Amino acid sequence: MNKPTLELYNHGVSLWLDNITRQMLDDGTLKRYIEELSITGLTSNPSIFDNAITNSDYYDDAIRKYGSQHLSAEALFFNLAIEDIQRAADLFRPVYDRTNGLDGFVSIEVSPLLAYDPRKTIEAAREIFDKTGRPNVFIKIPGTREGLAAIEMAISEGIPVNVTLLFSPDQYEAASEAYLRGVESRIRQGLNPDIRSVASVFVSRWDKAVAGMVSPELQNRLGITVMQKTYSSYLRFLKSTRVQRTMNFGAFPQRLLWASTGTKDPNASDVLYVKNLIAPYTINTLPEATLLAWADHGEAGPVLTDSPAETKAMLQKYASASVDVTKLGLQLQNEGADAFNKSWDHLISAIETKQQKF
């Protein structure tokens, strides 16, 4: 019998780990996840690095080593993060090569403080991508309205992009359009258009946002319903003439990634958003606890289908419960940006404290 993780991968879902620490690189945990649990990529964000660096002494020797260089706390952080990302990218390089560059990516985010400044975002994306020096690294750029211009520019310049902080179908569609414009720009310039990208749509925060506001029938179902509508948008994207034209020039279309798939409600299944979001040519990026739970007792549910009538009916039930999905999607994006900013501020403050200590 296949392991649950391998079964999911055989359904066409790439499993990425939503975590990175220097300890898991040193002790072989990440290597074991790749070899035993079918993990084919990795994502990081400010909250993940905040937890890894501030809540342990595992980075202290490296911080001490950089002390003589008199770096700012932000510059020091990116040195530490890029070292980890490079090591992870090297572990995933065989996956990247085996899949012709489709899988095997690791992601590192620009400073979340730049979410509303496209000029500084693209400058940071260039610098981070150059410093990592690995082809299988995604630069994470928030899919805010302002971030869309940076996404288009990054793709047009040949920088692989993980579009983050997407919540609603509308936000996903805007991000896929920005990616597509970047690819079409490369085609017009006679450049290789095959610049890889994923669009990360956050799932669990939808249900957390309406917890206690809707009937038991609707509890823990909004995230999946919104993702079903997003999946319909994704299928339209893949079937569109513009995308198929870019494919004929050699592009591999942007993939849809399910993000924030750890269950927030302790009374719900700990693999809720894995079992119900199975679709080929998608990615599920799992927190470590969710990955281990799926490996232990995951059972694949039915494959997602394009079911607009069913999705519309479910969304109408939420509308009847005074849930404005469009408004809530924008609220969640703003709250997500604010949460990353707070993690970033906490991380930089903690590094400054460690610098002073050493």
pLDDT in tens, 92-141: 999 999 999 999 999 999 999 998 899 999 999 999 999 999 999 999 99
Q: Residue 221: how many CB atoms within 10 A of its CB? A: 19
Show which residues are catalytic. 140
pLDDT in tens, 127-137: 999 999 999 99
Total number of domains in the chain: 1
Per-residue model confidence (pLDDT) at position 67: 84
Q: Which residues face 42 on adjacent strands?
A: 17, 106
Alpha helices of the chain — where are they, by DSSP H?
4-10, 22-26, 29-36, 46-54, 60-65, 73-98, 118-132, 147-156, 169-188, 204-210, 222-239, 241-248, 272-275, 288-297, 308-320, 325-357
What average pLDDT score do residues 174-202 get? Answer: 98
Per-residue model confidence (pLDDT) at position 171: 98
Q: What percent of the chain has pLDDT over 70?
A: 99
Residue 1 reports pLDDT greater than 60: no
Contacts 24+ apart (CB under 8 A), 306-315: 306/231, 306/232, 306/235, 307/228, 307/232, 308/229, 308/232, 310/228, 311/225, 311/228, 311/229, 311/232, 314/221, 314/225, 314/228, 315/225, 315/226, 315/229
Q: Residue 320: how many CB atoms within 10 A of its CB? A: 11
Residue 64: which CATH number?
Answer: 3.20.20.70
Q: What pTM was estimated for this model as a whole?
A: 0.96
Residue 289 reports pLDDT greater than 50: yes
Mean confidence (pLDDT) of the chain: 96
> How many CA atoms, within 13 angstroms, populate the side-chain half-sphere of residue 49?
33
For 239, the token pair is 């079937």
In whole angstroms, give the CA distance from residue 15 to residue 7.
11
> How many CA atoms, within 13 angstroms, populate the side-chain half-sphere of residue 299?
2
pLDDT in tens, 220-265: 999 999 999 999 999 999 999 999 999 999 999 999 999 999 999 9
Domain enclosing residue 102, as ranges: 4-357
CB 336 within 8 A of CB 167: yes
Residue from 102, 12, 41, 43 nearest 304 by CA: 12
Phi and psi, residue 338, nearest 5°: -65, -40
Helix pair 118-132, 147-156: axis angle to 10 deg: 40
Q: Distance from CA of residue 188 to its chain's centroid?
A: 29
CB 108 within 8 A of CB 129: no
What average pLDDT score do residues 271-277 get? Answer: 98
pLDDT in tens, 131-177: 999 999 999 999 999 999 999 999 999 999 999 999 999 999 999 99
In whole angstroms, give the CA distance from residue 312 to residue 296.
34
- Dmax of the chain from CA atoms? 63
